[in-house]
Chains A and B, each alone.
Chain A
Amino acid sequence: MPNIPRDGLEPVLRARKITKIFGRHRALDDVDFDIYGGEVHALLGENGAGKSTLIKILTGAYQPDEGEILLAGQPVSFRDPLQAQAKGIGTVYQEVNLLPNRSVAENLFLGHQPTRFGIVQRKAIEAKARDVLATYGLEIDVRAELGSYSVAVQQVVAIARAVELSGKVLVLDEPTASLDHNEVRKMFEVVERLKARGLAIVFITHFLDQVFEIADRVTVLRNGRKVGTENLADVTATDVVRMMLGKDIAFGHQPTRIGEAETGPARVEFTDLGKSGKVAPFSLTLHEGEVVGVAGLLGSGRTEMARLMFGVDAADSGRVRVGGKPVTISNPSQAVAAGFGFCPEDRKIDGIFGDLSVRENIIIALQAKLGWFKALNRDEQIEIAGRFAEALDIRAASHDMPVKLLSGGNQQKVILARWLAIDPGFLILDEPTRGIDVGAHAEIVRTINRLREDGLALLVISSELDEVVAYSNRVVVMRDREMVAELTGEDISPAVIVNAIAENKTRSAS
């Protein structure tokens, strides 16, 4: 063990030689992990590296198949998260797991309310809640419904609850994923306070810069094995990325323009497509071998535009031509028949069939296109699923396992494989890299470029400007449910795009 920060101190929590096996898949293989009081220890890894499995073992949601967990030097085993919580290990997830329609104070002490003769002492709870939250620098009306506050405040309440109930180790599982810049700052202040109080904090995130800002040490996992633990003062971001990927990726802060290639004839033409109250009529032509990036703020009409194109919402104006021929697209089934594919933003709700197998998830759109009676038999299914899983490097122990057991990045690739299986002419990707870590980012970006070379027309919606710039031949900018700019050539740069969005912001404000 290099770089133990506090000589001679016993770690608060130590996991030794942890192995966890699902079926024939070793989700974790002989992993060591330790954390000291007063330290923030970041846990990094690509999708499927084993981060969530390790956290679930530390917090009692899973039991390890091999290895042991030591709490303050004593071996422990947790039956369930409640027991882990009672012994001092609290967890806060990306999505706040509290009750939005109850008051802040109730949420803070739910299940542990101070009572007198079995009656909940409302005033006492509220006073205590105010005191507790004050130590987090949060002065709010604790009687108000939790749901009336921002996600950042809810997040802090969740942290306070976890610390009050547990108090030794705090696991933060992507706490900043849905926060804006200022909220992240506030969250980090809270983390610093807790660190000063001597708490041991495990911090999981996809944002490397946040790791370097807040964490003391980092442990990197890859494919279920530990790559190493380093003092962050001794390493650079490139070192960490290399540890995570085990390979150098050609994707950095200096985006390289690779979207200048000659494009082919028009593949799909949308003319004056619109729906009142959703998206103002817009016209857009996509050519073979072309990627059109869509930039814009959340709620700018980006997703609504894609939904109209795919017939998820029926347009009330406009025409669509595919390969020069007019087509009607008023539902997704017609869109699929026209050779369109759509990877939706919310994988879980609109994308995957959790209980169905990886194989079935891949062939389902092709089967829907073939119709009820032209069934793909099992051998055909295996062949198709195998071909596209290999092309996209989908990592699954078996294609017969339920797709819900795969990591987010692999699920995203399964949905992409589903569309590639219908041999589409036009593919819409809505936030294809959201909730996916940096390694899978680079892979998805590479895939987008490869599909373009294969002659597909792609529409890619993304909040990652670097990525949009890297793969787009053209960029359209959306604002207030309207297409407000179309950028080509030299204009495709983060600065110009931000300007296009901001310019329109000021115009809308005036």
Chain B
Amino acid sequence: MKRSGFSFLARPQFAALIAVLFINWLLFPGFFDITWQDGRLFGSLIDVLNRGAPVAILAIGMTAVIATKGVDLSVGAVMAISGAVAASLVVGGTASWIAVLAALGIGLACGLWNGMLVTVLDMQPIIATLVLMVAGRGLAQLITEGSIVTFSDPLLIFIGTGSFLGFPMPVVIAFVLLVGSTLAVRRTALGLLIEAVGVNRSAARFAGITSGALLLLVYAFAGFCAAVSGLIVAGDIRGADANNSGLWLELDAILAVVIGGTSLLGGRFSIPMSVLGAMIIQAMNTGILISGFSPEFNLVVKSGVIILILVLQSPLAARLFSRGHARPEPATAPRTTP
């Protein structure tokens, strides 16, 4: 596939990630140190990947939703539901693999519900998913009966804190989802059809695209990704916290997608770029934590960097940029996003 090359390395987002990592290194000289211990990798970089994985996974699902000109505000709440379902099932004595499947199934169901509201009832996505954003967290609290359900189930704990080939499980899971979903949209016609629906839903209908089924699929996938994230977060703290699991993470996920360059107006999208966006966000979070600044700075610095990245992506910057550089050959400058 010609278009899924490494052209993203030339994007401003990649430069931004390098810059953030470099600043982290200035603040904390040991930042790039990676050690091998007890059969797995340790170090700040690995931390960034590991801590960024839940948002990266949300962003993977969110990208396709936003590409259809939609948005999913409920993913944070679905994380809480997924964790709550898995935790209460294993605490109640259910086999852990069934608990995991049940949590993923509930996530899919939540996504299908959102997709139903958007396609069948033709609700605006922001309103449709707001319903589950609010109701979902309540649902999670009902499942956990208001307390934090702790567990010691090995499979759930492995999902949150285990390792595979030296990498933390969350990183491995995020990587598998990234590669799998990118291949799924670009090796099939799904990517093009999703973009067509996002660019012009009416024209998509006239062209014979069944946008209803596509939208259902896209929202269901976002729900599934949220459930995976929910399992990771629960496994990490060995408990389901319905109040805080995934709180506000839907906003980080949307931000990651936007930083990655997918427009909220729908159309062209790139899942790897969204994951890169999630990594930029996490690299800043980690940098501020390890540099010893108080976490309050985090929000301010984060917004500053985000404004900078968004300005770099704006049409104005594109004009300034293209003035100083030779224009790429139009014939070979189609979609440069993978």
| Contact status B330-A364, CB under 8 Å | no
A contact residues around B209 at 8 Å (CB):
333, 364, 368
Contact of A312 among B189, B206, B267 (CB under 8 A): B206
| Contact status B331-A398, CB under 8 Å | yes
Whether, in the assembled complex, A80 has its beta carbon less than 8 Å from a beta carbon of chain B, the answer is no
| Contact status A356-B196, CB under 8 Å | yes
A330 CB → nearest B CB, Å? 12
A contact residues around B193 at 8 Å (CB):
367-368, 372
B residues 188-205 in Cβ contact with A at 8 Å: 188-190, 192-193, 195-196, 199-200, 202-205
Bound-state CA distance A351–B207 (Å) is: 8
| Contact status A369-B208, CB under 8 Å | yes
A contact residues around B192 at 8 Å (CB):
356, 360, 364, 367, 375
Query: What are 15 contact pairs spanning A and B, CB under 8 A?
Result: A312-B206, A331-B210, A336-B208, A337-B208, A351-B203, A355-B199, A356-B267, A367-B189, A368-B210, A370-B189, A372-B188, A372-B189, A372-B190, A398-B331, A400-B332
| Contact status A364-B196, CB under 8 Å | yes
| Contact status B195-A24, CB under 8 Å | no
| Contact status B206-A332, CB under 8 Å | yes
B contact residues around A310 at 8 Å (CB):
206
Identity of the chain B residue whose Cβ is nearest the Cβ of A363 in the assembled complex:
B192
Using A400-B330, A418-B207 as known contacts, say yes or no to A376 and B268 having CB atoms under 8 A apart: no
B residues 235-278 in Cβ contact with A at 8 Å: 267-268
B313 CB → nearest A CB, Å? 16
| Contact status A378-B3, CB under 8 Å | yes
A contact residues around B206 at 8 Å (CB):
310, 312, 332, 342, 344, 350-351
Whether, in the assembled complex, A117 has its beta carbon less than 8 Å from a beta carbon of chain B, the answer is no
Identity of the chain B residue whose Cβ is nearest the Cβ of A344 in the assembled complex:
B206
| Contact status B3-A365, CB under 8 Å | no
A424 CB → nearest B CB, Å? 11
B contact residues around A398 at 8 Å (CB):
330-331
Whether, in the assembled complex, B325 has its beta carbon less than 8 Å from a beta carbon of chain A, the answer is no
Residues of A whose CB lies within 8 Å of any CB of B are: 23-25, 310, 312, 331-333, 335-337, 342, 344, 349-357, 360, 364-365, 367-376, 378, 397-398, 400-401, 418
| Contact status B208-A368, CB under 8 Å | yes
Bound-state CA distance A367–B188 (Å) is: 10
Identity of the chain B residue whose Cβ is nearest the Cβ of A419 in the assembled complex:
B207
B contact residues around A368 at 8 Å (CB):
193, 207-210
Bound-state CA distance A355–B205 (Å) is: 17
Whether, in the assembled complex, B323 has its beta carbon less than 8 Å from a beta carbon of chain A, the answer is no
| Contact status A332-B208, CB under 8 Å | yes
| Contact status A371-B189, CB under 8 Å | yes
* Inter-chain pairs besides A333-B210, A355-B267, 9 sampled, C-beta below 8 Å: A23-B327, A344-B206, A349-B203, A350-B202, A351-B203, A353-B203, A360-B192, A360-B196, A400-B335
Bound-state CA distance A360–B334 (Å) is: 11
A386 CB → nearest B CB, Å? 12
A contact residues around B195 at 8 Å (CB):
353, 355-356
Bound-state CA distance A371–B209 (Å) is: 9
B contact residues around A378 at 8 Å (CB):
1-3
A477 CB → nearest B CB, Å? 26
B contact residues around A364 at 8 Å (CB):
192, 196, 207, 209
Bound-state CA distance A25–B329 (Å) is: 12
A contact residues around B196 at 8 Å (CB):
353, 356, 360, 364
Bound-state CA distance A355–B329 (Å) is: 18
Whether, in the assembled complex, B333 has its beta carbon less than 8 Å from a beta carbon of chain A, the answer is yes
Bound-state CA distance A375–B267 (Å) is: 18
B contact residues around A376 at 8 Å (CB):
189
| Contact status B188-A375, CB under 8 Å | yes
Identity of the chain B residue whose Cβ is nearest the Cβ of A342 in the assembled complex:
B206
